Structure 1
Amino acid sequence: MAERHRSELVAQERSGHTAVVEDNLLYVWGGYVTIADDEVFLPNFEIWIYDMDRGLWEMSSMRGDVPPAMSGTCGCSLNGHLYIFGGCDNNGQTNEIYSVNLLDGKYTWKKISKASGAPPSPRDKLSCWVFGGRITFFGGYGHKLRNDINRRNFILDEASWVDDVYWGWNNEVHVFDPNHASWTEPQTNGRPPAPRAAHASATLGSKGYVCGGRVMETRTNDVHCLDLETWTWAEIVSPLSAVPVGRSWHSLTAVADSSLFLFGGLSVDCKPMSDGWLLNVETKKWQEISHPYENKPRLWHTASAGKDSDVIVFGGSCDYILLVDTGHCNDALVFQTEPYPLFRSCVDYIAKNVSICKMLGDQIPLLPSKLQHIVHRRMSYYRPPKNRTPLE
């Protein structure tokens, strides 16, 4: 078993990290923080685990083929494993892929170095969709040799080039199959989104959605959908109504069979935002929602789907990080996007009020043992010890 540490721990502030949820545990790896005007990558041999029922953090050491410390990786969870691809380390952007089993308690990284097919070029600030046991990667900012550039899916960053190496934005689609350790680049149909980075993506059923992002010097608010079975692109054009402003470094999370939740990001005028929106992909209508974190702007954070359609936003920055870059965060914001089931509402009510209602406390021992365990775990959330994160 990997070494675990629990006493008085809270995950450090960070941006550009990776986070996924498995069994109501939030796993956080990597990212960076600013120290004395320097960007410092956080330790790569640590994985932080947050128990969302109890409100407790712990940190476990990692082993194996540990990836370099970096930010801007693309991460996802598939069959109990965390996969990360790309990112930026001290040597620049990478195109390596790693995996780690989150369920065996060992946290041993494996570098997948013998995959067949051609991997994507080095890049960061990309996104991915998980469907059919495969991971589909889209977009990002990175570099290519001049002879490898296809102007149809790569926009040059005219200010960034060295000899025959050019940086820029892409709209490429690459698929990684973990079962066969293989890379493929499917031929897509329809009109694809413009090349971009720092966008947000989410999977609903057999379709992958991409929203906004940075396209050269512009931040967009367009929404596109890729059918992951037919590889056909379609743009989601909303009726004339309120729509989110263009942005980058935001998040998009599937919260129901037909709904996506958008939060935060950096606006066209470089303003950190805290607005929340729901997109119904069937009616193609946006709805801005009120929430308790409207005074907590976030960008380059992570957003993970929890139980009962909760969205857990962790970390990120509350500043325009290209100018200020001091406001990294370590609080986790829980957004309730749908009414809770009666069972959860009852458990939360008991756990929250047992300390002020003697009758509730006296009746807990009368509950079935399994239900007692659930209630006691939830009680620790509402009566947190010192090492509880400021999860709200």
Structure 2
Amino acid sequence: MDPAFERHCSELVARERSGHTAVVEDNLLYVWGGYMSIADNEVFLPNDEIWVYDLEQGVWKVFHMAGEVPPSMSGTCGSSLNGHMYIFGGCDDNGQTNQIYCVNLTDGKYTWRKIIHESGSAPSPRDKLTCWVYNGRLVYFGGYGHKLLTDVDSRNRSFIVDEASWVEDVFWGWNNEVHVFDPVHEGWSEPKTHGRPPAPRAAHASATVGCRGYICGGRVMETRTSDIHCLDLNSWTWSEIIPVSSSPVGRSWHTLTAVSDASLFLFGGLSVDCKPMSDGWLLDVETKKWREIEHPFKNKPRLWHTACPGKDSDVIVFGGSCDYILLVDTGHCNDALVFQMQPYPLFRICEDYIAKNVKNYEVLRSQLHFLPPKLLTAVQRRMSFYRPSKKQNY
């Protein structure tokens, strides 16, 4: 990439979008795909660019992507594994897809590769699904998509047909299937699960804690739920978590993020009465108690956004919509909201204090050069984040 182009891009801000993919690697937030609204049209974002946000400096850059570039899509399921971003499924101009792609985020080339599986069968086309990353594999759950009549078994409740959407011998609907992709052997498998699985759904949220994958809520046929289910990723056994406290209202298009070995953070979504939400909740998976938390973004409802775990248990929420997108679909967002979920280490507190106040105190500024080189570099990067002209969302 032309260095001049990079410098120019450093002053940019990623475009507003919903239904995109985002992952965090080495304190960098990577954003790809999704869609936005222009006039009365829904427009997919370019498929050959990736936006990168430096969470220390507060600076955006955009890079061109090459290789086997996937189509422009929304509703893909994105995940990060060993420095690579994988996307599976999603909806493009031709409807749902079941293709899987990956891109190396660490070599600076951003070259897409379409993966042709060597064994097993890929899941049916779908979007609005979720993924758990465990033991070097990608475990996909649920989603909304289509199957051929010959693949729909009325005795099997893993796929519920959407009665309002079918064409001849093609049926659309929700599923609760579990599919595993092994990137090393590039193969698909469908493990036999035990216990009572969740009802088929889409636009739900998921998170991984240890060897357990959790899902919360989503759209189940014509309703939105707030139920919690857990899948043991070793024994493939389902169990439902029945909260012993008041719970969030049912919703879809929300996010669930692991913030400790025993707690999950839920944010936003579209409620059962189609209201965009801005509430935040913590679930203790050991005590089975929900607790609503206070946060500074109560005036920023979000749905179909992304949430990524960051440094020091931060949760980085990017993009999404602040409207009921099925009716209004104009309020797409492009700000990054950083939720502090744990007390910060002393080093980070000191680093942030120096970076935020160095321009106001002559003595502090005059002593910067006494810092060790590595620490000085870190503080200077952080100073960029606190430039007066920048509006931050901490």
TM tier relative to shorter chain: over 0.9
CA distance in 1, matches of 2:52, 2:174: 33
Q: 2:330 aligns with which of 326, 332, 342?
A: 326
CA distance in 2, matches of 1:115, 1:246: 40
Give the superposition deviation at 1:276: 0.3
Please give the secondary structure, in 1, of the residue aligned with 2:246.
coil
Query: What's the CA shift string for 1:161-186, capped at 9, x where partnerless?
Result: 00000000000000000000000000
Please give the secondary structure, in 2, of the residue aligned with 1:5.
helix
**Given the alignment of the two structures, is residue 22 of structure 1 paired with residue 33 of structure 2, yes or no?**
no
Please give the secondary structure, in 1, of the residue aligned with 2:235.
coil
Structure 1: stretches of 5+ with no match in the other structure: none
CA distance in 1, matches of 2:337, 2:376: 27
Query: What's the CA shift string for 1:33-64, capped at 9, x where partnerless?
Result: 01111110000000000000000000000000
Q: 1:208 aligns with which of 203, 210, 213?
A: 213
CA distance in 1, matches of 2:243, 2:105: 39
Give the superposition deviation at 1:389: 7.1
CA distance in 2, matches of 1:336, 1:358: 30
Give the superposition deviation at 1:358: 1.4
CA distance in 1, matches of 2:362, 2:298: 36
Task: Name the residue aligned to 2:167.
Answer: 162
How large is the Cα RMSD of the aligned pairs? 1.2
Task: Name the residue aligned to 2:176.
Answer: 171
Q: 2:357 aligns with which of 346, 349, 353?
A: 353
Please give the secondary structure, in 2, of the residue aligned with 1:349.
helix
CA distance in 2, matches of 1:22, 1:94: 26
Task: Name the residue aligned to 2:123.
Answer: 120
Task: Name the residue aligned to 1:91.
Answer: 94
Contact 2:116-2:186 within 8 A present in 1 as well: no
Number of residue equivalences = 389
Which structure has more relative contact order (CA 8 Å, sep 6+)? It is: 1
Task: Name the residue aligned to 1:377.
Answer: 381
Identical pairs, percent: 73
Please give the secondary structure, in 2, of the residue aligned with 1:354.
helix
Please give the secondary structure, in 1, of the residue aligned with 2:177.
strand
Provide runs of 4+ in structure 1 moved above 4 Å: 1-4
Contact 1:34-1:326 within 8 A present in 2 as well: yes
Q: 2:318 aligns with which of 298, 314, 319?
A: 314
Contact 2:30-2:53 within 8 A present in 1 as well: yes
**Given the alignment of the two structures, is residue 253 of structure 1 paired with residue 257 of structure 2, yes or no?**
yes
Give the superposition deviation at 1:152: 1.4
Contact 1:253-1:305 within 8 A present in 2 as well: yes
CA distance in 2, matches of 1:236, 1:339: 28
Give the superposition deviation at 1:332: 0.5
TM-score normalised by L of structure 2? 0.97
TM-score normalised by L of structure 1? 0.97
CA distance in 2, matches of 1:391, 1:68: 31
Give the superposition deviation at 1:147: 1.4
Which one is further off, 111-120 or 175-184? Answer: 111-120
